[in-house]
C-alpha cells in the first residue's frame, strides 16, 4: 500500500526543502534557481473579484506536463490535470468555469482550503480554559468547516514561491467566526517533478484556539468520463474509524473496521458496500501511524483510466466523503457537467471531527509560541 521507499523519501526531502524555503529567503531563491529546469509557473490570470479584491488563478506546471491551477480565493484547487494510461490528459477534480460557481449558495467546498476548524464541531460550541465559545450553527445545529465565512470564502495573499510552488497567507482576526486569537495561516502548494502535489500548512496564534486545516478537493480520476466514483478502488491504512450520530458528530468511540462496510484495509470498489452505510461514506478514519510522521495512508485507482493516486500525510485522521449531497443542481460547472450524487470523493487529511469537545481525541488546541504544522501529498501515476 505504501509509496515505494525512494518516492516517499523524495517527498519527505521535498517537504523539508519547502518548509525551509518558507522560513528562509535565501533558501527560497536557491530552490527557485534549481527548479527552473524542471517546472514553469505561468503568470496568474484574472478570475473575477471578491470582497473588493482581485481573484487570480495561478498555474503550476512540471516537466512532465502535469498542471495544477489554484485560486487565491479560498486557496481553491480548480484543476489537477494528469494523463491517463493512454496519455490523454484530463482534469481529475470537480470545478466551475467561473468565480460565481464558487460563490453560489450551497457550494460544497470544491477544492478549497477549510478552516479555522475543518469538519464539524457539535452544537456550534466548545469550552477552552473555562470559557465557552459560540460559533455559527451552519450545519444541522453544528459548525462545519469554519462557519459562515470560513477560510474557503476569503482572498488569501498569494506569492509564487519558486517556479513550482505557490504560497498563500491568511490572517484570521481574533473573534472571527467566534474563534479566539489572531491566527496567521500559511499554506504552500508544491508540484513536484514526480507528479505529486504537496500541501504544507502552518499556523500561529496569539491566544489558545482550536485549529484543523485541510483541503476539500473532490476527486474523480476518470476526469469526468464516468459520472460517479463507485467503480474506483480505495484503500485506507486504518483499522479503526470514529462512528457518528445522525448529525455526523463522532460518538467518541474508536470502532474497528474489520467485518464492516468501513473496512478498506484491502483495496475495494467504493460501490461494493456503500449501500450498507446510511447516507454513504462521510466518516473519519483513524490512521494506523504515528501523528506527525509523513506516511502513505490511502490509495485510489480508477481501473478504466488507469489513473492511480497515493495520499501521504502527517495527520492522525482522514475524512472519506463520497459526495453524498451532490444532486446535479450546481450551476456554472465545468463544461456544464451535472455533478450527481457520488460524482466524486474527498480524502481530507485532518484531526478528528469535534475534537474540541472530545478530550480523548488528539489535541487540536494551538497555543501562543507553538506552530500548527501538517503536510499532505497527493501523488499521481498510472498503472
Q: What are the residue numbers of the active site?
A: 216, 348
Q: Which residues of 96-111 are buried (b: 16+ CB within 10 A; e: fewer)?
A: beebebbbeeebbbbb
Provide φ and ψ at 72, rounded to 5°: -75, -15
Q: Please choose, from the candidates 224, 231, 186, 221, the residue with its C-alpha nearest in 3D space to the C-alpha of residue 205.
A: 186
Helix (H, G, I), strand (E, B) or coil at 120: strand
Give the up-direction half-sphere exposure of residue 85: CA atoms within 13 A in the CB hemisphere.
Answer: 12
C-alpha cell, 105: 449558495
Beta strands 53-62; 77-83: pairing state? unpaired
Contact 110, 339 (CB under 8 A): no
Q: Please choose, from the candidates 246, 237, 319, 320, the residue with its C-alpha nearest in 3D space to the C-alpha of residue 279.
A: 246
Say how far residue 238 (Cα) sits from the centre of its chain: 18
| Rounded Cα distance, 9 and 239, in Å | 25
Give the torsion through C-alpha atoms of 149, 150, 152, 157, to 10 deg.
Answer: 100
Q: How far is CA 348 from CA 73, 118, 353, in A?
A: 19, 9, 11
Helix (H, G, I), strand (E, B) or coil at 232: coil
Contact 320, 273 (CB under 8 A): no
| Rounded Cα distance, 378 and 195, in Å | 9
Amino acid at each position: 500500500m505504501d509509496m515505494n521507499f525512494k518516492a516517499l523519501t523524495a517527498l519527505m526531502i521535498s517537504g523539508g526543502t519547502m518548509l525551509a524555503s518558507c522560513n528562509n529567503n535565501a533558501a527560497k531563491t536557491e530552490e527557485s534557481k534549481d527548479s527552473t529546469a524542471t517546472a514553469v509557473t505561468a503568470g496568474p490570470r484574472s478570475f473575477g473579484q471578491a470582497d473588493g479584491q482581485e481573484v487570480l488563478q495561478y498555474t503550476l506546471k512540471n516537466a512532465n506536463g502535469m498542471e495544477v491551477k489554484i485560486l487565491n480565493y479560498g486557496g481553491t484547487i480548480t484543476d489537477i490535470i494528469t494523463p491517463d494510461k493512454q496519455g490523454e490528459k484530463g482534469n481529475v477534480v470537480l470545478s466551475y468555469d467561473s468565480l460565481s460557481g464558487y460563490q453560489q449558495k450551497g457550494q460544497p467546498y470544491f477544492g478549497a482550503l477549510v478552516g479555522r476548524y475543518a469538519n464539524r464541531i457539535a452544537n456550534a460550541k466548545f469550552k477552552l480554559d473555562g470559557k465557552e465559545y459560540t460559533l455559527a450553527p451552519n450545519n444541522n445545529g453544528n459548525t462545519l468547516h469554519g462557519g459562515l465565512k470560513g477560510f474557503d470564502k476569503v482572498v488569501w495573499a498569494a506569492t509564487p514561491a519558486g517556479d513550482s510552488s505557490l504560497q498563500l497567507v491568511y490572517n484570521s482576526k481574533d473573534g472571527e467566526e467566534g474563534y479566539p486569537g489572531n491566527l496567521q495561516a500559511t499554506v504552500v502548494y508544491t508540484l513536484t517533478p514526480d507528479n505529486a502535489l504537496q500541501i504544507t500548512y502552518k499556523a500561529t496564534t496569539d491566544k489558545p484556539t482550536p485549529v484543523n486545516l485541510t483541503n476539500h478537493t473532490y476527486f474523480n480520476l476518470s476526469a469526468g468520463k464516468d459520472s460517479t466514483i463507485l467503480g474506483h478502488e480505495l484503500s485506507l491504512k486504518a483499522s479503526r474509524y470514529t462512528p457518528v450520530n445522525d448529525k455526523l458528530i463522532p460518538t467518541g468511540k474508536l470502532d474497528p473496521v474489520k467485518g464492516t462496510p468501513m473496512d478498506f484495509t484491502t483495496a475495494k470498489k467504493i460501490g461494493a458496500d456503500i449501500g450498507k452505510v446510511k447516507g454513504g461514506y462521510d466518516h473519519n478514519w483513524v490512521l494506523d501511524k504515528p501523528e506527525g510522521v509523513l506516511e502513505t495512508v490511502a490509495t485510489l485507482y480508477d481501473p478504466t483510466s488507469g489513473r492511480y493516486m497515493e495520499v501521504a500525510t502527517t495527520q492522525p485522521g482522514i475524512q472519506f466523503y463520497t459526495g453524498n449531497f451532490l444532486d446535479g443542481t450546481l450551476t456554472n460547472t465545468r463544461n456544464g457537467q451535472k455533478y450527481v450524487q457520488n460524482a466524486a470523493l474527498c480524502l481530507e487529511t485532518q484531526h478528528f471531527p469535534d475534537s474540541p469537545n472530545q478530550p480523548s481525541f488528539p489535541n487540536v488546541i494551538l497555543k501562543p509560541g507553538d506552530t500548527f504544522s501538517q503536510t499532505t501529498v497527493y501523488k499521481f501515476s498510472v498503472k
